[in-house]
Amino acid sequence: MFKVILRILKYSKPYKLSLIGAVIFSFIGVLLSLFVPVLIGKGVDVMIGKGKVDLAKLFQICLILALTVVTSSSFQWFSSLATNRLSYNTIRDIRKDYFLKLGIVPLKFIDKNTRGELISRAVNDIETVSDGLLQGFTQLFSGLVTIIGTLVFMMTVNVRIALIVMILTPLSLFTAAIITKLSHDSFVKQSEMRGRMSSFTEEMIGNQKVVKAFCYEDRAMEEFSKINKALKKSGIRSVFFSSMTNPTTRFVNGIIYAAVGTAGAFSAVGAAGFLGVMTKGQLSSFLLYSNQYTKPFNEISGVVTELQNAAACAERVFSVIDSEPEPSDENKPVLKAADGTVSIKDLSFSYQPDKPLIHDFSLDVKRSGQKIAIVGPTGCGKTTIINLLLRFYDADSGTISISDTDIKTVTRDSLRSCFGMVLQDTWLFAGTIAENIAYGKENATIEEITDAAKAAHAHSFIKRLPNGYDTIIDEEGGGLSQGQKQLISIARIMLTDPPMLILDEATSNIDIRTEQRIQRAFEKLMNGRTSFVIAHRLSTIKNADMILVMRDGNIIEQGDHYDLIAQNGFYKKLYMSQFE
């Protein structure tokens, strides 16, 4: 836990002025508050002293007391303000590093972790770290200053009774330490279950139509209940141990307070000479100090519980921040003016070492403008070829070259900017239609956006929307059909005008008539550009220059449509199966 907390504090280094301010303000505020029992004791002695009460002196003491309380509270408020700035800036930097790391980790890292889990760490876990840091730092420091300060002041009143307090103090610390140790594992388990809950909920809400279509509601509820019960169990266990901390330490501190009060009472009446003699006012001050001394132990024990929770969440956040990023592209040249030629030699790849997928795959696209179609049954490796072309994954062996340049020797950004990609699954973000189309081209003009939409046959339905291109949609494309969302994605690619294209079932969600228009638009767009087309509807790739037929990670047939039909092989079976 301490390593994690030290790492969090390292993020606070740029804000050391806030840290220093919080420490100084807290120190002054606590120090002033320690004078309050002294003033109260003096007031008691004035009121119950022999003879007539000196009202002038009593008023003076009350005035000083009021000023001390106001000043102490002001400094403690400034301390809280400085701590807030320190905490929120620190958490902002942690959250920034977390999000930046998600942008540079290999795609396989994202694939291995559920989206809900990663979102939970970014939102819930980091927020818990923020709360623990906010509450913890101020109370921990002020508590330590209060403990040391009250001991010093008690020593000035009565050394012997102060030693009794110090001797009994380890009881409180020992009790808090045992409970803290028991609570740590519970908080770790609670954090894990919270992540599972977020992940499952995100899956069910994001796929609600599928859930309802398959009447999965009851089973989803059963699964949710299992996770919910596990979260409840870990939560109750965490709360139980954390809740035990305060009353247990209060009980021990009550024993200390009672012991001090008894000893002080005997001393005040002169019945225990070995403890020294105190006035009634000094007894009042000592009891107040004793209460102040024991109170921070309750607060610190609560802070330790919060820090345990924060540390457990921070471990999950740092596990992402510490994950291996993609190998750096530093000092690598950019891929300039790709001419559309592609060479793949002896390529082998597998997502899992014990399950080979692609073996000794080779392909030569010797001239620009060729249309390469990739077909085959599900799971044969079609989309994997695209992942390797764009270096979302790196091949286990073999080379991929574009314009006679090994793609591993150039920057990923320059490589990927050479391709325009339209996927079967559309992706839109919350914003206007125009902003979604212009996603890949910064500072695109409305004329360019409109031309791209017209080329994609999206202009007509966009103009019918309430605010045209300024219509705001959410990430689900609220109000748009699946086909319309696909057209916006196609317009986005047409706007970027890349030298090479990748179409992965790009028209699968569009009606036949619109698809025919889109195919004509694609033909115009693909003119002079090398294109890789993954298709299940083989009728859409009849005019491809080369069709690669894949099966179990290997190319088993290749040629144009008519050559493959004439071969009377696997391609013909696939093609004819669509008309049976």
Output the 3-class SS for 216-285: CHHHHHHHHHHHHHHHHHHHHHHHHHHHHHHHHHHHHHHHHHHHHHHHHHHHHCCCCHHHCCCCHHHHHH
| Cα distances (angstroms) measured from residue 245 to each of 142, 182, 306 | 19, 11, 11
Residue with tokens 């969600």: 509
Q: What 8-state DSSP symbol labels residue 381?
A: S
Residue written as token pair 């910064």: 442
Helix (H) or strand (E) holding 92: helix 55-104
Q: Are 433 and 471 in contact (CB under 8 A)?
A: yes
The gap from C-alpha 160 to its chain's centroid, in whole angstroms, comes to 54
| Digitized pLDDT (tens) for each residue of the chain, 580 residues in all | 678 878 888 888 888 888 888 888 888 888 888 777 777 777 777 777 666 667 788 788 889 888 988 998 898 888 888 888 888 888 889 989 999 898 888 888 888 887 778 888 888 888 888 877 766 766 777 777 777 777 777 777 777 767 777 776 666 667 666 766 666 667 777 777 877 887 788 777 767 767 777 777 888 888 888 888 888 888 887 777 767 766 776 677 677 667 666 665 655 555 444 445 566 666 676 677 666 666 676 666 667 767 777 888 888 889 889 988 888 888 888 887 778 888 889 888 888 877 778 888 888 888 778 888 888 887 777 888 888 888 888 888 899 998 888 898 899 888 888 888 887 777 788 888 999 899 888 788 999 999 989 888 889 889 998 889 998 887 776 678 877 888 888 888 888 888 888 888 776 666 777 677 677 767 777 777 888 888 777 777 888 888 888 887 777 888 888 888 888 888 888 888 876 5
End-to-end alpha carbon distance in the chain: 65
Q: Residue 546: which residues within 8 A CB-CB, separation 6 or more?
A: 365, 370, 371, 372, 373, 558, 559, 560
Residues 319/371, Cβ–Cβ less than 8 Å = no
Q: Which residues pair with 421 in a beta bridge?
A: 502
Sheet holding 405-406, edge to edge: 358-365, 342-349, 397-402, 405-406
Diameter of the chain measured on Cα atoms: 124
What is the residue whose two structure tokens read 């890949």? 440
Going by CATH, does the domain composed of 342-577 fall within 1.10.10.350?
no
Nearest to 32 by CA among 61, 66, 80, 60: 66
Enumerate the domain spans of the chain.
2-321, 342-577
Look at residues 329, 344, 328, 331 and name the one whose alpha carbon lies nearest to residue 404: 344
In terms of CATH, what superfamily is 2-321?
ABC transporter type 1, transmembrane domain (1.20.1560.10)
C-alpha 573/C-alpha 556 separation (Å) is: 13
**Gyration radius (Cα) of the chain, Å:** 36
Please report where in the chains the tokens 């088993």 appear, as a residue. Answer: 556
* Alpha carbon distance 23, 19 (integer Å): 6
